[in-house]
């Protein structure tokens, strides 16, 4: 899961998916990262923590980290929140094989739509709830794909 600062959207996506993976007894590794040095090593934004807690998901143990080309070796899928994140990840791709792993997370729900998950950072708490709803929908679909082995 990738967003810009790794303190709002991608930590929420990581937390939601990890929770669902655990509840479904799946053997899946989930992580998140970003591209800004400003928040490196920091917990997610307090509003993201509060919204996750509201839905009984604890993301307080997460720490912002930077995207690395090594992620292409570690993960089968790299899901980004918006087109800018896609471009930044694509610039780090070392091959066509790397690039094939990258997609906008909402394309899982509506393939080819290229819907973006808006960054709630400069918004109100309700924006974080909207982000949660979008990511909850996407992670439901990811779990469905993983359980039916339609997504390796």
Catalytic residue among 19, 45, 103, 119: 119
The structure tokens listed for 66 are 């930077």
Q: Which residues lie below 8 Å from residue 129, measured CB to CB, with a gap of 6+? A: 51, 54
Catalytic residue among 3, 8, 33, 82: 3
Question: What does DSSP assign to residue 8?
Answer: S
Whether 42 is a known active-site residue: answer: no
Catalytic residue among 9, 19, 45, 82: 9
Whether 87 is a known active-site residue: answer: no
- Surface-to-core class of residue 30, CB atoms within 10 Å of its CB (0-12 exposed, 13-18 middle, 19+ buried): buried
Whether 47 is a known active-site residue: answer: no
Instruction: Kindly report each contact of residues 45-50 with a partner whose C-beta sits within 8 Å and lies 24 or more positions away, as own/partner.
Output: 45/7, 45/8, 45/121, 45/128, 47/8, 47/120, 47/125, 47/128, 48/7, 48/8, 48/11, 48/12, 48/120, 48/128, 50/125, 50/128
In whole angstroms, give the CA distance from residue 6 to residue 9. Answer: 7
For the annotated catalytic residues, the residue numbers are 3, 9, 119
């Amino acid at each position: 899961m990738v967003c810009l600062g790794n303190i709002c959207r991608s930590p929420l996506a990581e937390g939601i998916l990890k929770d669902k993976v655990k509840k479904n007894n799946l053997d899946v590794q989930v992580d998140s990262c970003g591209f800004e040095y400003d928040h490196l090593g920091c917990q997610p934004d307090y509003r993201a923590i509060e919204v996750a807690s509201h839905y009984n998901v604890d993301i307080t143990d997460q720490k912002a980290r930077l995207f690395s080309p090594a992620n292409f070796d570690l993960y089968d899928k790299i899901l980004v929140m918006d087109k800018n994140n896609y471009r930044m990840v694509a610039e780090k791709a070392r091959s066509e094989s790397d690039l094939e792993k990258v997609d906008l997370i909402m394309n899982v729900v509506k393939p080819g739509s290229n819907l973006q998950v808006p960054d709630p950072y400069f918004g109100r708490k309700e924006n974080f709830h909207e982000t949660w709803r979008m990511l909850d929908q996407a992670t439901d679909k990811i779990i469905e794909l993983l359980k039916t082995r339609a997504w390796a």
